[in-house]
């Protein structure tokens, strides 16, 4: 109790210095958390992927579509239980700034493959019945204030014209990381239009989503699917959903590595700043530590004082930094909208922030604590701060 009281009093002895150190810590830990959250959001698609889903796309490029007839052949492959498909729609809602992903899907099989999209039976039925219907995630609906029955006009970029969809359902994610920032429309509606206006582009799909029963067979099933279309006009590449999602992330891997490096560099910088503060603090109190040792306090007590004070400041700075991250993330997440749908602080990020703060505190105190524990009492008593 006495030790804690002494630590608190020591920590705030030089209020301005402590306040400035805390500001540095709050900014550093807050920024570290924000950058980790950004990286986490980038990888959210990978983390949210299911091990029981595979994705089949053109072996040449994702931009090359495959005949929809592949679905039946894929379904016949041993180990595949369900097949669905999805096409990137790429519509613009009001202006280019309002970006969110839209997919034209085969609804019955698709929703079966994505049980994490929690939709009421009534809404699901309404969507299945209405070829011009659409469903959206809760986050997207909240962002644009949509409610069931609303007409949502999208200006097509891949499929020309204005497309108006009726909102038939709003799904909630089964988990926090489930994407609630997408819009799903019926493939049949788009395909019907293509058959009339651009028959050459009809009955094609950009990707097939495969449901498998045993995740351990994923590699084998992928090989079987790709072998099925070997030497065809449109060869396929089948991979796990996680690998598929990762292929998008890897496009910006250099940036992510840089962000990761910066997040750690920030911690190293604040570590140096804090170490400087603690070294100054220790030097100023040299005669006090010498007095304590003269009175009979052990070197370990001096170590406790310095480590305790450093960890206390680091803890306060860390907690405030975490609060800053939470506040900033909420604001930035709102501003980013559907661009990074899973932009939220995770418990792992918060644990990393806390660990980083405590590491900063411990490392900053290590040298002065070691030095002060070994001070010569007589020399220390002569020291004038």
Partner 1 sequence: MSSVDSEPLIRIRDLSKAYRRGGQSIPVLLDIQLDVMRGDFVALMGPSGSGKSTLLNLIAGIDQPSSGRIEIGGIDIATLSESQLADWRARNVGFIFQFYNLMPVLTAFENIELPLLLTGLTARERRAHVQAALDMVSLQDRSDHYPNELSGGQQQRVAIARALVSDPELIVADEPTGDLDRVTGGEVLTLLDDLNRNLGKTIVMVTHDPKAAARAHRMVHLEKGVLVPDEPSAADASEHGPRPPEA
| Helices first, then strands: H and E counts in the chain | 15, 13
Interaction of residue 9 with partner 1, rule CB under 8 A: yes
Measure the CA–CA gap between 7 and 4, rounded to whole angstroms: 5
Q: Which of 24, 191, 293, 364 binds partner 1 (CB under 8 A)?
A: 293
Pick the stretch among 81-89, 178-186, 238-246, 289-297 that binds partner 1 (CB under 8 A): 289-297
- For the bound state, the minimum distance from the C-beta of residue 34 to partner 1, rounded and expressed in Å, comes to 36
Q: Which of 255, 269, 294, 355 binds partner 1 (CB under 8 A)?
A: 294
Q: Which of 13, 112, 129, 334 binds partner 1 (CB under 8 A)?
A: 13
Interaction of residue 280 with partner 1, rule CB under 8 A: no
Give the other-Cβ count within 10 Å of 81's Cβ.
Answer: 13
Measure the CA–CA gap between 144 and 18, rounded to whole angstroms: 44
Token duo for residue 181:
């920032």
Q: 112 near 87, Cβ under 8 Å? A: no
From 78, 89, 80, select the one nearest 55 (Cα to Cα): 80
- For the bound state, the minimum distance from the C-beta of residue 282 to partner 1, rounded and expressed in Å, comes to 15
Quick note: the x/- pattern for partner 1 over 170-199, rule CB under 8 A, is: ------------------------------
At 44, give phi and psi (nearest 5°).
-60, -40
DSSP states of 362-376: HHHHHHHHHHHHT--
Interaction of residue 283 with partner 1, rule CB under 8 A: no
Interaction of residue 102 with partner 1, rule CB under 8 A: no
Interaction of residue 16 with partner 1, rule CB under 8 A: no
Q: Which of 287, 310, 329, 353 binds partner 1 (CB under 8 A)?
A: 287
DSSP state of 167: E
Count residues binding partner 1 (CB under 8 A). Answer: 20
- For the bound state, the minimum distance from the C-beta of residue 25 to partner 1, rounded and expressed in Å, comes to 21
Interaction of residue 14 with partner 1, rule CB under 8 A: no
Q: 2 or 335: whose CB is closer to partner 1?
A: 2
Measure the CA–CA gap between 332 and 344, rounded to whole angstroms: 9
Neighbour-count burial of 187, counting CB atoms closer than 10 A to its CB (0-12 exposed, 13-18 middle, 19+ buried): buried
List residues near partner 1 by CB under 8 A: 2, 5-6, 9-10, 13, 287-288, 291-299, 377-378, 381
């Amino acid at each position: 109790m006495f030790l804690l009281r002494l630590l608190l009093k020591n920590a705030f002895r030089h209020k301005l210095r402590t306040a400035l150190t805390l500001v540095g810590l709050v900014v550093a830990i807050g920024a570290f958390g924000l950058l980790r959250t950004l990286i986490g959001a980038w990888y959210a698609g990978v983390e949210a992927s299911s091990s029981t889903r595979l994705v089949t796309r053109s072996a040449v490029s994702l931009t090359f579509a495959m005949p929809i007839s592949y679905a039946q052949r894929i379904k016949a492959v041993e180990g595949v239980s369900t097949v669905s498909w999805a096409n990137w729609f790429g519509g613009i809602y009001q202006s280019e700034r309002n970006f969110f992903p839209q997919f034209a899907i085969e609804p019955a099989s698709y929703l079966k493959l994505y049980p994490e999209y929690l939709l009421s039976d009534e809404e699901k039925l309404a969507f299945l019945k209405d070829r011009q219907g659409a469903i959206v995630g809760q986050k997207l609906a909240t962002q644009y204030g949509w409610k069931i029955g609303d007409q949502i006009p999208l200006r097509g970029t891949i499929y020309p014209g204005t497309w108006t969809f009726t909102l038939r359902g709003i799904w909630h994610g089964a988990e926090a990381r489930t994407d609630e920032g997408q819009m799903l429309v019926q493939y049949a509606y788009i395909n019907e239009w293509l058959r009339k206006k651009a028959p050459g582009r009809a009955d094609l799909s950009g990707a097939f989503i495969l449901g498998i029963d045993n995740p351990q067979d994923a590699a084998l099933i992928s090989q079987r699917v790709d072998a099925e279309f070997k030497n065809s006009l449109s060869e396929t590449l089948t991979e796990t959903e996680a690998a598929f999602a990762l292929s998008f992330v890897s496009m910006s891997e250099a940036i992510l590595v840089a962000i990761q490096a910066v997040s750690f560099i920030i911690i190293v910088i604040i570590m140096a700043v804090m170490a400087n503060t603690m070294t100054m603090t220790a030097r100023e109190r040299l005669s006090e530590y010498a007095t304590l040792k003269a009175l009979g306090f052990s070197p370990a007590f001096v170590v406790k004082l310095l480590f305790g004070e450093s960890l206390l400041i680091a803890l306060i700075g860390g907690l405030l930094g975490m609060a800053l991250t939470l506040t900033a993330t909420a604001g930035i997440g709102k501003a980013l909208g559907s661009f990074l749908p899973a932009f939220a602080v995770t418990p792992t990020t918060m644990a990393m922030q806390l660990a980083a703060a405590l590491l900063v505190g411990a490392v900053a105190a290590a040298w002065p604590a070691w030095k002060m524990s070994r001070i010569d009492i007589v020399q220390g008593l002569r020291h004038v701060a």
